[in-house]
Amino acid sequence: MKSCLPVLALLLAAAGPLAAQQVYTWTDANGVKHFSDAPPPPNTKEAKKVIVRGGITSTEPDVPVKTEEEEAKEGPKMAAAAGYTAEDIKRNCETSQRNLEILQRSKPTAEAEVEVQVDYQEQVGKAQQQIALFCG
């Protein structure tokens, strides 16, 4: 039975991407229609996301495509809107990054109890959320 577990884990991992796929579609300046699993170029004003799940496609409304730089600025903008000062945002960004570094140095071993590993992953996730909010 133990020899089946790795095979089952591999099958489940491989099935994940099959569950739902996201495809972008847009028309360029020359009128050529494009389909890609990567977002369109930054100079594209609008794109449609097509979600393929179980052979059925659905589209979401046209969404302006944001550059990575625009997405990175959203977190600090949200923090400022929530009442944080620029100094608070900078200090919290630095603190969050240090906390993540400390966590990564104290990563539990594979032999650690499941609860310890789950708690570690939750703490890392929280630190990453804080970094996204305060650092962008």
Written as one letter, the residue type at 27 is T
What φ, ψ does residue 22 adopt, rounded to 5°?
-110, 130
Nearest to 129 by CA among 104, 90, 103, 93: 93
Beta 56-59 vs 63-64: how paired, if at all?
unpaired
Q: Any bridge partners for residue 95, and if so which?
A: none
pTM of full prediction above 0.85: no
Domain segments of the chain: what residues?
19-64, 68-134
Listed in sequence order, the residues at least 6 apart from 33 whose beta carbon sits closer than 8 Å to its beta carbon are: 25, 26, 27
- Each residue's pLDDT, cut to its tens digit, for the chain (136 residues) gives 455 555 555 555 555 545 557 777 878 878 888 877 787 877 777 777 777 766 666 665 445 555 655 655 688 888 888 888 889 889 999 999 999 999 999 999 889 898 988 899 999 999 998 888 888 8
Find out whether 120 and 103 touch, Cβ atoms under 8 Å. Answer: yes
Q: How many residues does the chain have?
A: 136
* DSSP track, 67-88: PHHHHHHHHHHHHHHTT--HHH
